[in-house]
Structure 1
Amino acid sequence: KSADEAFKFWGHDEALRRMVLEIRKLRPDVIITNHSVTTNDHGHHQATARLELEAFDAAADPKRFPEQLSNGVTVWQVQRLFVRARGNATQNPDRQGGGEVITIDPNERDQIRNTVFAEEALRALQKHATQGPWPKTFAYRLTREAKGAEAVPKDSHNFVDGLRLPDDIARQLQQLNMDPRSLISSLDRPDRVLDNLLKASKAELFDERKADDADSDRFLLMTLRLDAALAQASGISLTVRPRSSVLVPNTNSTFVITVSNKGPRTAEISGATFDPQNFHIDAGNVKTPSRLAPKATINIPVERKTPADSKINVPLSAHLYDPDPFGEPILAFVRIDIGDAFFGLISMTHIDVAPPVEIAEVAPFPLIVTRANMATTPALNGDDQALRARRIWLNVKVVNHQTSAFKGTLSAASMLADNRSDSDSVELAANQAKTLRLTISSVGNSLTVSLGNGKVFAPTKNIPVSYTDAHVAPNLRVGYIRGFDYSLPNALNALGVESNELTVDTIASMNRSRN
């Protein structure tokens, strides 16, 4: 595998555009990566490493992807880029040429979360079937740094060591303290913590209006952190959720904004906004009760219409390379007042956008044609690539995402000269899913499955067809031990073989029965 092969499928410019956008949105001072441009690395990793080097400079260049520079997104200069150094890398003593190496011990404990740093990484690595064991320490080499960035101190074990904010900005962004103990060490006194946080909010400690444009994002980030701390300390929370699992274009959807107060103090809701992106709504103006008593929960229903041009992202597997593959972002904001201080609660989620009706699944996929399920003579018109089926059927799962019933036709068209197709009528209740069996009379090199009624249509599904001269012994039963994927059971099912996955318990029971 090579980087060029990865870019053939990703598209170099599109992949770079996405990476630059995320850097500009996240605005990191330091980027850390395991990906290397060396040829002994996997092609996907090489491609990612090349993109990171390009994005380091491109994110700070207003001429690169200028269409991104709106809605609060601005250019951003990352200060440092570290790349994982393999082997027994050590600190570079002369510190020349950006060759500084930072050694990190992942077994150190995070004092705030009371977990070892490696635990979070281990949870992710355990998602892989063949990973580990890992070394006790990891080394990262400084590969790129911004012009004028502070040097990395010798023997540093922190990626941001040496980076300094201007003194006046640093003073305004300093950690909140509570004499005689710090705020973090005073968590066993929640009332005092909340009072000090409210005092900081009242004083507008991190007001971004006090900062220059270049530093306003740092102040905004600290404001959001202060708001999150106030929400945690006060016990007040906000969620927004739809009443249906997906949104349908050009259809009304109901959402529920929930504000809960699990704390001991009475609060006031002085404003609420429901502002999903791409929804045609008036700004703000969600009516809410003003008083939020202790232990109270308020549910606020709001209804909005999904635009007809909303981008469908269901199923996700077919939209992984879309610019925005995760559905419609939905945002709710509530302002909470406690005494003469206030803070904001923000809840954001992404909701999948589905067509009115959907062909959710077709099995088998792909369709494997054997002598057992096909005739040995060509179909009509003598086309050798088109065979007459004896007993082939498709199990098709269809879903009606509408709030009204659907009547239509499910069909499978074969790539034949006479455009032969097989069809059946479909009736679905509102929000109903159903699996139907569709018999196929003839197949070519592919099948196209469609669902519609003249007004409403589902995106079509293309089913590849392969012919194999395979023979299956009658009454054959196969027991198998599956590997890390489902290729073996899928192949057995495609050939029509009766099979069962073996487990330790089933094998043990078989041994006992023999005894």
Structure 2
Amino acid sequence: MRNGKFAKLCSLATAAALAGSLVWPAAPQTAHADRGVMDLWKAIKPLTTIASAMNTGAHPDDEHSAMLAYLSLGQGVDTYSVIANRGEGGQNEIGSELDNALGIIRTRELQEASKVTNVHLEMLSQKINDPIYDFGFSKSPDETLEKWGEQEAYERLIRTIRTLRPDVVIPAFLNEPSTHGHHRAINVITVKAFADAANPDVFPQHAREGIAPWQVKKLYVPAKEDAYSVRIPVGDYDELYGASYLQLGEESRFMHKSQGMGRHYDEGERYSYYKLEAAAAAPVGTGQESGFFDGIAFTFDDLAREVTTQPGSGPIIAGLKKLQKDADNVIAAYPRFADVAVAVHAMKADLQQTIADLQNSKLSDAVKQDLLHRLQVKEGQLNKASAEALSLVIKVRAETNELVAGQKTNMSVTVYNGGQSPVNEVDVKLNLPKGWQAKAKGETSFKTVGYNQTSTATYEVTVPANAELFQPYAASLVSADVTYTFANSAATSRVAPAEPVAVLPPYAMELSPGATVLNTLKPKESIPVKVTVRNYTPGAAKTNISLQVPAGWSVVPNAASLDFASKGETQSVAFTVTASASVKPDTYTVTAVARGNGKESRHGAQVIRYPHIGTTYFVKPAELKIQAFDLQVPEGLKVGYVSSGFDNIDQYLRQFGVDVTNLSAKDIESGDLSQYDTIVMGIRAYGFRPELLASNDRLLKYVENGGNLVVQYHKPEDKWKPELAPYPIKIGTPLIQWRVTDENSPVTMLAPDHPIFNIPNKITAEDWNHWVQDRSAYNPAEWGKDYTELISNGDPGEKEYTGTFLTANYGKGTYTYSSLVWYREIPALVPGAIRMFVNMVSLHQ
């Protein structure tokens, strides 16, 4: 038994670790003395229960973190989080990455968050540009499922449920109109899957693959305090962790830094509420339950009682009861590592015997399959518990994590024993993709590894010439299985490298700009293109860089040769691209090609690196997208841009020929604002540029004296107040209702003669076509009568908004507030949006 002094020490140390982990570290954190003790507890607690639960959500951060922490860390339940997409359609609060690059970041954050709560993560989205994509905000589950491909999304969810076989499933959201369409869609298919996952006629191909139907026992949905079946005590304080489950859940949410997630909660009583929506064994009642698993087998003893009526179940019942005693012995041995290790391996031996008895039994196939699945889950947990109890530290290291096709490199697997008990018959196996080759350069089996000893297996690895380039959502390319024996039973640990081993292009190229406009009014104006090349081939290399351009276009020079002295070196080449004289409005692509040393590359490799997620890569075509259309830009237009860090419209304005200066806090507080024809506020700027609130009177004075101030959308929590505008503007709430999500929805120009629609570019109905993702977000609900309402627009079947695009004269100048999603449209090179934005910043020119 643990004594009170030990529990208190763990509590204090873990509380300190928790507090420290909420800060974004600049370097790896110092190891805490209790880390092994807590990791051991997290490894052995799941041995006490055979129950499982699954939480389904749409995006990274949808997981019910506090509830998951309670189930996994508190009760030891085998807990799964199933998330549909990668969050590609959101905003980024830590960098400039958007779309797929943001999806990669959010996926890594979700993976790290899941580690905190000891939750097994599954994703329905499987690859870059997967159909199950975060296409932006939606009000409709039908629209969501149509865009995702309802059958494909549903098949993947059913497959996941049948493979993981959870006892309880809990969608993270309800299907109600005030909820994001993606959230509603997940609820719809999760509720439907409760019955269909058990129906062999639904996706019968699964059975042919060896995946049997599975009947979830209970389905719960989120509820409120006044109408619930189960309340989860997430405020309960766990002395071992030195925190409540709510606090532990928030520790995981702090990993979602790109979304600004995570809150600090004080200790105290709190609950999460859920309603029983469906049950397989009995009709759904209205009574309250003590927990999700009322009436469901939770322990080995419960499981033994369930099979007592099965003929020939005697040996199985005896085996399950023995496993119950084994699990109790493991917990009783905590925190004595050596004793825990002995108890864990005794349980492993009994588990193997029970599995053998089960396979030889005459139990029905359904019962046998259920028991076998649960015991196999327990086998994996015992392997993890064994390594923790024996203090085995296994690491897989590559000589370099950045490889190219055809390369040879060395990889090593080290097995360090930090515990007092020696392990025997240690065998190392390096796992590689098909087509890769590994040649051992020494011993891969070791008779004994004792305390403070390290054994190392080294391999020469050959990457095939046709190796696939790095896929950020795929499982680790490289892993190692280390098998060993202790106390007369064997265990296996599978370990992957700390950083991903990535096959990258031999010459990774980035084109600058990556997207630009070709003004068809000035077709002879050339486009300067810089190609930055990073050498990933080992050692010195020589390559030839060229651009593939559309037919009839020209490029100077035709090609350029680069000599690299070593791997990792970066060099640049400058090209000039000129369109044909007869170029028409359209979308064109320029592709960079590198050839050298018998290798060819047409890709770039964006390195994504943040302290909380480590390093990963986004391999993508080395292309420049060019949108050709007519664009009038006033000569000498000078714009001051107040960036919030959430958009890069300023960069595109420069490409269009606008003179843009990014304004600092000092510029705003005391600089000469009158030198700018227009000042543009980036999205949500008031929430992230604190000097703006104090300097708002200066900005309004700038307008009053003849300036043109453009303010892009804000949320109320961005410190926005109606009186910040010269005439009040109140943002509509709830925010979910005050937006237009259909990018193809009809737009009516209410003031067609206004300069914004005429000078210098004539705006027509065509300019509202080809928009992406959304029309507008966080529209105003109320505004002063002095504003001109420029457009009317709404989602099909809904009331149209007239406050989306507002402008007013104020003194000698103009103030414009716009909730149109310019930050999406302009990087997507939507011609109409660009023409209109230029008009907006050109007022009074």
Q: How far apart are residue 482 of structure 1 and its match?
A: 0.9
**Matches of 2:286 and 2:344, distance apart in 1:** 34
> 1:249-268 maps to which residues of 2 (within 5 A)?
249-268=405-424
Deviation at residue 118 of structure 1 after TM alignment: 1.6
The answer on whether the counterparts of 2:399 and 2:411 sit within 8 Å (CA) in structure 1 is: yes
CA distance in 2, matches of 1:173, 1:152: 34
> Is residue 295 from structure 1 mapped to residue 456 from structure 2 by the alignment?
no
Task: Please state if 1:469 is matched with 2:632.
Answer: yes
CA distance, structure 2, for counterparts of residue 289 and residue 31 of structure 1 = 44
1:487 equivalent in alignment to 2:622: no
- 1:70-81, aligned counterparts within 5 Å? 74-81=212-219
- Correspondences of 1:39-438 after superposition (within 5 Å): 39-62=177-200, 64-65=202-203, 74-85=212-223, 87-91=224-228, 101-110=229-238, 113-126=241-254, 127=256, 128-129=259-260, 136-146=270-280, 148=281, 154-164=287-297, 165-167=303-305, 168=317, 171-174=321-324, 176=326, 183-184=330-331, 186-204=333-351, 207-211=354-358, 212-279=368-435, 287-307=444-464, 310-314=467-471, 316=472, 325-326=473-474, 328-348=476-496, 351=500, 353-368=502-517, 377-379=522-524, 388-389=525-526, 392-403=527-538, 405-415=540-550, 417-422=551-556, 423-428=559-564, 431-438=567-574
Distance 2:452 2:426 in 1: 18
Distance in 2 (alpha carbons) for counterparts of 1:257 and 1:287: 9
- Cα distance per residue 1:339-383 (max 9 Å; x no partner): 43432222246946535435453333321457xxx9x6433xxxx
Q: Deviations along 1:62-105, whole A, 9 cap, x unmatched?
A: 555566668975543322222223x54413xxxxxxxxx32223
Q: CA deviation at 1:33?
A: 2.0
1:208-260 CA distance string (max 9 Å, x none) = 32333331121122122222222111111223243332454454453321211
The amino acid that maps onto 1:268 is N
* CA shift digits 1:167-207 (9 cap, x unpaired): 237525426366xxx64364343333333333333444675
Paired position in structure 1 for 2:364: none
Q: Distance in 1 between matches of 2:286 and 2:346?
A: 37
- Give per-residue Cα distances to partners, 1:466-514, cap 9 Å, x unaligned: 464334748x58462415x2334544554565544746x9989989xxx
Q: Please list the CA deviations of residues 442-461 of structure 1 after superposition, one character each: whole Å capped at 9, or x if unmatched.
A: 24643322223275232443
The change in CA–CA distance for 1:420 and 1:68 in structure 2 (over 3 A counts) is farther
Identical columns (%): 19
1:117–1:203 CA distance, 2 compared to 1 (3 A): same
- 2:682 aligns with none
Compute the displacement of 1:29 (Å).
1.6
Tell whether the 8 Å contact from 1:275 to 1:283 is kept in structure 2 after alignment. Answer: no
**CA offsets, 1:130-178, max 9 Å, x none?**
88899943322233433x3697894324222221234237525426366
CA change 1:328–1:399 in 2 (3 A) is farther
2-structure distance, mates of 1:54, 1:425? 59
Which residue of the partner structure matches residue 588 of structure 2?
Answer: 446
User: Which letter does structure 2 place at the counterpart of 1:424?
Assistant: A
Q: 2: distance between equivalents of 1:66 and 1:250?
A: 41
Displacement of 1:267: 1.9
Alignment of 1:30-41 (within 5 A): 30-41=168-179
Q: Distance in 1 between matches of 2:650 and 2:172?
A: 34
Q: 1:222 to 1:481 in 2, by over 3 A?
A: same
Q: In the superposition, relative to structure 1, how do residues 84 and 228 fare at CA in structure 2: closer, same or farther (>3 Å)? A: same
- Name the stretch that deviates more: 436-445 or 494-503: 494-503
Point out the more displaced range, 433-442 or 65-74. 65-74
Moved more, 125-134 or 446-455: 125-134
Tell me, yes or no, if the aligned pair for 1:236 and 1:262 is still in contact at 8 Å: yes
Q: What secondary structure sits across from 1:436 in the alignment?
A: strand
One-letter amino acid of the counterpart of residue 235, structure 1: S
5+ long unaligned stretches in structure 2: 1-137, 298-302, 306-316, 359-367, 604-620, 672-690, 692-845
Q: Which moved more, 1:330-339 or 1:357-366?
A: 357-366
Residue 373 of structure 2 aligns to a residue whose secondary structure is helix
| 1:326 and 1:351 in contact (8 A); partners too | no
- Secondary structure at 1:106 match in 2: coil
Please name the residue that 2:165 is paired with: 27
Q: Assess if the C-alpha contact under 8 Å between 1:472 and 1:497 holds in 2.
A: no
| Residue type of the alignment partner of 2:182 | H
Q: Aligned equivalents of 1:418 and 1:482: distance in 2? A: 41
Looking at structure 2, the residues matched to 54 and 24 of structure 1 have their Cα atoms a distance apart, in angstroms, of: 14
Structure with greater proportional helix content:
2
Letter in 1 for 2:469: I
Q: Using the alignment, how far apart are the partners of 1:15 and 1:150 within structure 2?
A: 29
> How far, CA to CA, are the matches of 2:240 and 2:208 in structure 1?
36
Contact persistence 1:274–1:332 (CA under 8 A): yes
SS of 2:538's equivalent?
coil
**Counterpart residue identity of residue 426, structure 1:** L
CA gap of 1:243–1:431, structure 2 versus 1, over 3 A, is same
Note closer, same or farther for the CA distance 1:166–1:120 as it changes in structure 2 (3 Å cut): same
- Alpha-carbon distance in 2 for matches of 1:55, 1:283: 47
Opposite residue 103 of structure 1, the aligned amino acid is: R
How many residues are aligned here? Answer: 470
| 1:96 corresponding residue in structure 2 | none
Instruction: Report the CA distance shift for 1:409/1:491 in structure 2 as closer, same or farther (over 3 A).
Output: same
Residues 25-60 of structure 1: CA deviation (Å, up to 9, x unaligned): 433222222133333321211222233234444544
Moved more, 111-120 or 130-139: 130-139
Residues 131 and 299 from structure 1, CA distance in 2 versus in 1: closer, same or farther, beyond 3 angstroms?
Answer: closer
Which 10-residue stretch deviates more, 189-198 or 69-78? 69-78
* Matched letter for residue 249 of structure 2: A
